[in-house]
A and B are shown apart, each in its own frame.
Chain A
Amino acid sequence: MSDMAAHSTFVRMRIAASLPPPAKGGMMGRWNLFSGWLNTALTLLCLYLIWLLVWPAIKFLLIDAVWTGSSRDACLAQTGGSEVGACWPFIAAKFSQFIYGFYPQSERWRVDLTFLMGALLLAPLLIPCLPYKAANAFLFFGVFPIAAFFLLVGGGFGLPHVETRSWGGLLITLVVAVTGIVISLPLGILLALARRSEFPALRVAAVIFIEFWRGVPLIAVLFFATYLLPLFLPPAWTLDALLRVLVGVSLFASAYMAEVVRGGLQAIPRGQYEAAMALNLGYWRMMGLVVLPQALRIAIPGIVSIFIGLFKDTTLVLTVAIFDLLGQLRAAFADPNWASPVTLFTGFAFAGIVYFVFCFGMSRYSLFLERRLRTDHPREAE
């Protein structure tokens, strides 16, 4: 017994130095790709599956693809070789249609200018280290939409009027998506705040609005806006077809946005509100400076999901005879001049790549933003 008692007291003579963590090993080691026969088998199986998926795609899109030609003849098996891949001359021939729709040839510089302006204003807004964010945001969200409207629609400043009926392609896709995104975020935030308001009337109004728009399918909204709304309105009121769709899409997206933002708001502890109130910030400054910056950061994944969903859903305008990128694509399929067995696959591959670039870009940017805005739990990133 006395022996154990002697061992139970202990005094360290020297505090040991901190050591670096053990090496994690390379990618092979960390991922356990070949650490045992089962893992090795699974790794080989997965490599085989990847090969099965990727190789035909590469073969179709690049190796067997037809790169030059001026009509369907180039893409037929008889002339192009035994196996014909993607028919890129088809895309090249129809490219301007995919971008502009039936926007008059002579006026297409206006679309180009709009795209360029948008890109030049958006890029510095997204790069955090560049200065003048407030002015930049004002230009993009306040000035750009108005400038784009006058530039695209025309009818003033010596620009001939271009009916929205002749718009199409990527132009429509971007106009619908950007309008939806730019309107749904602020409107969704206001709806979320209203739904959490202490005024019952405001709360009920927000709940009714949100549940109504979430309860109806987007296609129904588009149909209603396009075919039924004119029946209810006096004949003198002729709203532009595209405008009606834009309003429908924006309100629809706002309802979803409101719920995502509300989720973020609910994650903010009561103490944050109390500290803001004790500092006498008042409701709007409390929300704008303390609560929303934190809530929106939490809600980024949900917000971006809605943006991506919205971008892809724009293609539903096809059902009300507005031809977005996909609509123009399908119109181009009907051209007998380019009818070939691979036209369809080529077209959809092209559309898929375009949609993927936009959606993947949004997704990666949101991840970057999330990481950048993280100030708490610095160790979480590891």
Chain B
Amino acid sequence: MSNGSDTAVEMTGVHKWYGNFHALNDINLTVKRGERIVISGPSGSGKSTLIRCINRLEEHQRGRIVVNGVEVTADLKAIDEVRREVGMVFQQFNLFPHLTVLENCTLAPIWVRHMPRKDAEAVAMRYLERVKIPEQAGKYPGQLSGGQQQRVAIARALCMNPKLMLFDEPTSALDPEMVKEVLDTMVELARDGMTMIVVSHEMGFAREVANRVVFMDEGQIVEMNEPEAFFSNPQHERTKLFLSQIL
């Protein structure tokens, strides 16, 4: 295994505990640049914890995580370098309710990247157009539907020009009729070659865009395969059981 420039994320022997609960147990996962990974598994299996360790929203206690050539440690400089290249989309959107949609998108570029306001707004409008809601730029998040909010959240992350996007169950909090608009945005992003790690139960999405599907249970990676093989010919008993319950 190398930290070569074609590797986006490399996790080696990663463990994490919450108190006595073993949340991540010996995770080994390498994600190449341009690859799309979908992580699936039952509730409490450690999927979210795994991707939150990648940008240090959670800290791992053992093992190595290297993101874009930088090892994730307690060192603030390393965390800063990692987060600069990693965008994240949350289940609950987590837009800033006191700022307009446009301000949500320009906040980090202006204050972290020190981009002039005009340029930041131009970039933000470009991404808002890409997620198909430029007309909502002046509204506050509370005035948008869930699907629109999640698309703003995607645009907000893209405005920082990340090399890697993490999605933590991006459609789980949405009303059913809004799932598609968010998934369509993500599919488009995948077509443009973005490296993506997606925690999701959207099997249609996994089939369409994923290079690999990872199945987790009890903090471990139980099975990992290309989507076709994963869905048509699951090997492990737990994977079979899980697929039989959700499909």
Contact = CB atoms under 8 A, between A and B. Distances in A.
Nearest to A278: B88
A293 B94 contact: no
A280 interface: yes
B90 interface: yes
B229 interface: no
A314 B94 CA distance: 43
A376 B107 CA distance: 19
Interface in A267-287: 269, 271-272, 274-282, 285
Contact of B83 (A278, A293, A377): A278
B143 A378 contact: yes
B156 interface: yes
B160 interface: yes
A282 B76 CA distance: 10
A272 B112 contact: no
Contacts of A279: 83, 107-108, 112, 156-157, 160
A289 B107 contact: yes
Given A278-B86, A376-B142, A289 B95 contact: no
Which interface class (under 10, 10 to 19, 20 to 34, 35 or more) fits A?
20 to 34
A285 B107 CA distance: 10
A281 B108 contact: yes
A274 B90 contact: yes
B44 interface: no
Contact of B160 (A269, A280, A297): A280
Q: Which of B88, B96, B107, B143 has the most CB of A within 10 A?
A: B96
A375 B92 contact: no
A281 B112 contact: yes
A331 to B, nearest CB: 48
Contact of B80 (A280, A293, A377): A280
Interface of B: 55, 57, 80, 83-84, 86-88, 90, 92, 94-98, 107-108, 111-112, 140-143, 153, 156-157, 160
16 contacts: A271-B90, A272-B94, A274-B94, A275-B90, A278-B86, A279-B108, A279-B112, A280-B108, A280-B112, A281-B112, A290-B96, A290-B107, A297-B98, A375-B98, A376-B140, A376-B141
Given A282-B112, A376-B142, A378-B142, 10 more contacts: A269-B92, A272-B94, A277-B83, A278-B157, A279-B83, A279-B160, A280-B83, A280-B84, A375-B97, A376-B141
